[in-house]
Each structure stands twice: as structure tokens, then as C-alpha cells.
Structure 1
Amino acid sequence: MATITTDDGTVIFYKDWGPRDGQPIVFHHGWPLSADDWDNQMLFFLAHGYRVIAHDRRGHGRSTQTATGHEMDTYAADVAALTDALDLQGAFHVGHSTGGGEVARYVARAKPGRVAKAVLVSAVPPIMVKSDSNPGGLPIEAFDELRAALAANRSQFFIDLPSGPFYGFNRPGADVSQGLIDNWWRQGMAGAANAHYDCIRAFSETDFNEDLKQIDVPVLVAHGTDDQIVPYADAGPMSAKLLKNGTLKSYEGLPHGMLSTHPEILNPDILEFLQS
């Protein structure tokens, strides 16, 4: 297995496919998944000549199950350690959901020349939780419910979420894929319960407003209007407005997990943006 070791001794697993001199694309997975969630996109972009890279966030997948560090600053530092180890220059960074927050935090702090463009898909920025400054957010009780369900029966919770709102399989007439549900469960259960528990706070309460304002590179913000996990109105459009060079692309009626349910739509759009 390909791994790097961070300064605090955490072993980060990653995949690195394609030509070493190819344009690198780094994929950042959502909660509570792993690099495996990007298999479709990695194969697609590999076929177009790119070097494709995806890592398992600490506490997720095959990376170390650490006691600490399950917050965005450390996640971004782990990405920086990976890009330094691979000496990636002019890379594209693509993040889904929690991974979109990780991309925003990393890109805002990246060394000059490391990043060329970024893509935020169904991403958690600017901030999810409701507050006086973010009245359109979700109440903290919604995230408390996630923590309670995870603590009570993580395995069942990791069946219920992909079977319902994550992929929009709870909608009338939805084309339900048991394979996607099973793969979501498989990836989730490979990670650590404590990391998943702590990451709920990281993706829901982290404020990315300043990160988005600091990003200079072009960013595509892609969001489905029927996202039941990260509601569209308080995420995609608001992130695009904060970015200096942001482009919002809305997908009518598509769910949070649209990269997996509709890759034939998303993949070409991302390719077009990266090539533009």
C-alpha cells in the first residue's frame, strides 16, 4: 500500500494512478467514506490522461485510527503533507461534501504553485450549522441526532443513510442501487467510530467563509438542488459568491451523492472545467 507518515505519526493511505508527468487531480472524499468513493471518477480521468490521486482521511478507510486531529486544520495539514511528499505542482483538487470543506481549507493555505483549480461538489462550505449569522443553516439538533444514531448503532445508521437521503433513494421513483448502499456501508465501517463522531462537528460547525474569500484560483461549485444532506440554498450559491473566481453550476433535482448516482453528468462537466 502507498502511504505517507505525518509529523504526528499518522499513516495516511493514498492511491496514485497514471503517468507521473500527467496533470495531477487530487480527490477528497466525504464523510464517513474513503478514497474508494472516487473509483468512478479516478477511472474516468485516468482514461483522459490525468494522474489521479485519492487519500483516506485520518480515521477513515485504511489510514491510522487516531485519537485526535479530527478537525479541518489537521485534515488540511495532512493534505499538505501528502502534496509535499508527492511534490505536486499545479494540481486540481476535487472535494465532495466534507471533502469540499477540506479542499477549501487546504487551497486557502496551499504553498504557491501547488494548486491550479478546485472543484467543490455538494460541499459543506460556507458553514452548515444555523446561527444568528447563518440563519439559513441547519439547527444543531440535526447534527446531535447524527451523533446519537452513530453512537447507538453505527452499522444500522450506515445502512439507513445511503438507503435514504444521501443518494435520494427515499424519493418517489428513485432508481435505487443496492451496490451503492452496500459500498457506502463497507467504506464507513472500515473507519473509526470516534473519527466519524468527531468529524460531524468538523463538517457542520467549521466556518469556511474566510477560506473561500482567500482562494484565488478558479473554483467550480457544483450542487444538486435536491441535496437533503447539505441543503442547496445555504451552500452552493453562497460559496460561489464568496469566491474571487467561482462558478456555480446547479443540478436540478440531483441528490447529495450525485457523483455516484449521475457520474455520466458530473464527470464531463468537471472535465470541461478543468480543461478550460
Structure 2
Amino acid sequence: MTVLTRLSDTRTRAILLSAAIIAGLVFTAVSGGFLRPHLTADWILSTPYMRSALISLVDAGVLFALVWLAAWTHPGRIAAITGLGASPIRPLMWAGAVFLPALIICVALVSLSDASGPADYGWLVIGGPVIEEIVYRGLAVGVLVRLAGWHWLPAVILPGIVFGLVHAGAGTDPMEIAGIVAITGLGGLLFGWLFVRWGFNLWPAILLHVGLNGLWTAFALGENAIGDLFANGVRVGTVILAIGLTFVLAPKPRRED
């Protein structure tokens, strides 16, 4: 009876955690439309990207709270699952090797962006990507695999789809929206795979996300995620290099306890 009780408790906990993550992801998909009309204070509207930052922080807080209520464990354990506390040293070496060729090409062949300022770098390059990786990879993928017992592939696909849909607002027509959702969704799958393949170390996903956004912000590679043929060539080459060097530099996969 004790063994059966433990099995039942484990399954119940897995169901609750899965439901918490799904509910949290659904919230991130609708939170912008719900919260944005209420964030109209002068200090919010006068500060670039402040409304987006507040919405993203609410997304992270809601998802964390839902997981905590479902798992009923120490918040520090949930924070540890995100992989943000893992060592960034080897991922930094990896990121340097990944982005050096793209940076050389862009410096030699692409003009600098005219529209970039400190706020763009602060949010588009650093703040936004870091929070998104914590939410969609660290919390969502980390909890689904490490606490709820999901196989890594569906655990990566589900947040990746939502991640793509959340960026639909960056498009202005159906074709552009479809392209942005597809590209960001595939990016979400890649970031999720990196998180798992690096032994649940979140830094490779963060660094790749930051680096790609940094290139698009610093250089005239396109106004959104779609880009032109040259921009997509830079992106594809960087992604291929990131995947290849992951197999070389990432720790060997091990079975999660």
C-alpha cells in the first residue's frame, strides 16, 4: 500500500505541475492584451519598453507562483531548476566561438542600425531575452522534465509553440505574422534543446538569444525576426555553428535522476 500511495502521489504531483505550467503558458499568451490597457501611468508610458518589461515580469511571477503552489516545495528548489545558477564559464566560451564569425561578417559587410539606443540594448538585447529564457525554458521546460517527468521533446515543443505565438504582435500582415511566429517558434525549440542538451544549464540558451538579438539590434539586418536573404544566411550559419559546437563543448548527456 505504501508503494501504491507513493506512486499515486507522484502521479498527482506530475499532473498538478503539468497543469500549472500549461496554465502559466496560456497566461503569457494573453497577458499582454489584458495588462497593457491598464499600464497607462505617465512614468510607464514615458519609459521605453517599461510596459513590456512589467508584463514579462508578471508572466514570470505568475508562472513561478503556479509551480510553487503545485509543487509545494521550497522556492529555492524551483529557482535552481531553472538552470540560471549553473556555471556560465563553458557556455561563454561556446558563445564566443559561435558569434565571432557572424560578428566579423556583419562588421565587414553590414551597416550599423540607425534606430538603436541604450533602451533597445537594455531591453531587446538583454532584459527581454533573459526573462523569456527563464519563463519558457528554465521554468517551463525545467519543471516539465525535472519535476513532472515529461520526455524532453514534448516539454520543449509546448513552450516553443507558445513562445512563437506570443511574438505574433510583431507582424503587420498575415504573411509576416506567420513568418515571425514560425521563426520565433523554431528559435524556441532550439533554445529548449540547448537547455536540455547542456544539462539544464540555462546560459547557452540565454547567450544565443542575447547574441542573435544583439546582432539584429546593432546591425541593419531587418526590422523584425524575418529579415532578408543575407540576414537569414547569418542566422542559419550561426545556428548551425551553435548546434555543432554544442556537441563538442557541452557535457555528455546523462539520465536525469
TM-score in same-fold range (> 0.5): no
Larger-Rg structure: 2
Relative contact order, higher structure (CA 8 A, sep 6+): 2
- Structure (1 or 2) with the greater helix fraction: 2
The TM-score normalised by the length of structure 1 is 0.28
More strand by share: 1
TM-score using structure 2 length: 0.29
